[in-house]
């Protein structure tokens, strides 16, 4: 498919298939058709996740996508999409990408639930950090981000800026930095436990 024309490649492949069925295909034509087919298959494989992403952006639910993808359920549709997606975290197979995404979601849910249960403490701690005086420019920028996150209704949004603030406080506010470290350790533990529970259930 050297000319980058998928429709033309399909037409040429179809002609060679018809000739092969009639016993009239030559070796060079067959080899060229197979090469075209390989390139076309790779291109089509790239189109599918792109189209699924566009459909989701346009508001299509996984339930609506399932019949279009030829699968029976919303879970199967999402699983197919994850298998097709390139990995950002090193998983080499589609099944590994599905597992990694499910692990991430399980961890996110566990941490979000914990943050909601501990909202008052998290907000109090964030308020203490954001109200600190005499910070250097980098620490002040981190504290300002934390202050802005206090305006969000979801307490889980406080966790990333709290974790980021820790390194800026280690020298002059060691006790506060230690409290932030304990939160990071707890959320890491929650993620590990959530992944373990999910895999046990599966």
Output the pTM of the full model: 0.55
Q: Is the pLDDT of residue 128 over 60?
A: yes
Q: In this predicted model, what pLDDT tens digit does every residue of 145-191 receive, in sequence order? A: 988 999 999 999 999 999 998 888 877 788 888 999 999 999 999 99
Q: List Cα–Cα distances, 21 to 9, 11, 16, in angstroms.
A: 18, 15, 9
Q: Is the pLDDT of residue 85 over 90?
A: no
Task: Report how far residue 173's alpha carbon sits from residue 176's, in angstroms, rounded to the nearest whole number.
Answer: 6
Task: Report how far residue 201's alpha carbon sits from residue 191's, in angstroms, rounded to the nearest whole number.
Answer: 15
Q: What is the mean pLDDT of the chain?
A: 87
Percentage above 70 pLDDT, the chain: 92
Across residues 116-141, what is the average pLDDT? Answer: 91
Q: Is the pLDDT of residue 93 over 60?
A: no
Q: What pLDDT score was predicted for residue 102?
A: 81
Give the confidence band of 56 by pLDDT, cuts at 50, 70, 90. Answer: very high
Task: Report how far residue 167's alpha carbon sits from residue 138's, in angstroms, rounded to the nearest whole number.
Answer: 10
Across residues 107-130, what is the average pLDDT? Answer: 93
Query: Among positive and negative, which fits the CA dihedral 37, 56, 155, 176?
Result: positive
Percentage above 90 pLDDT, the chain: 49
């Amino acid at each position: 498919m050297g000319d980058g024309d998928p429709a033309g490649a399909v037409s040429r492949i179809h002609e060679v298939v018809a000739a092969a069925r009639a016993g009239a295909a030559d070796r060079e034509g067959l080899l060229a058709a197979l090469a075209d087919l390989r390139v076309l298959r790779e291109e089509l494989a790239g189109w599918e996740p792109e189209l699924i992403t566009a459909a989701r952006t346009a508001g299509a639910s996984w339930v609506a996508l399932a019949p279009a993808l030829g699968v029976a359920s919303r879970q199967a549709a999402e699983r197919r999409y994850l298998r097709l997606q390139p990995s950002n975290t090193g998983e080499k197979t589609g099944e590994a990408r599905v597992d990694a995404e499910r692990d991430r979601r399980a961890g996110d849910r566990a941490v979000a639930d914990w943050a909601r249960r501990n909202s008052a403490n998290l907000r109090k701690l964030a308020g203490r950090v954001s109200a600190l005086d005499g910070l250097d420019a980098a620490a002040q920028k981190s504290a300002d981000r934390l202050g802005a996150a206090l305006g969000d209704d979801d307490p889980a949004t406080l966790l990333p800026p709290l974790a980021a603030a820790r390194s800026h406080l280690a020298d002059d506010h060691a006790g506060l930095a230690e409290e932030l470290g304990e939160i990071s350790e707890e959320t890491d533990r929650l993620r590990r436990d959530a992944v373990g529970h999910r895999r046990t259930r599966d």
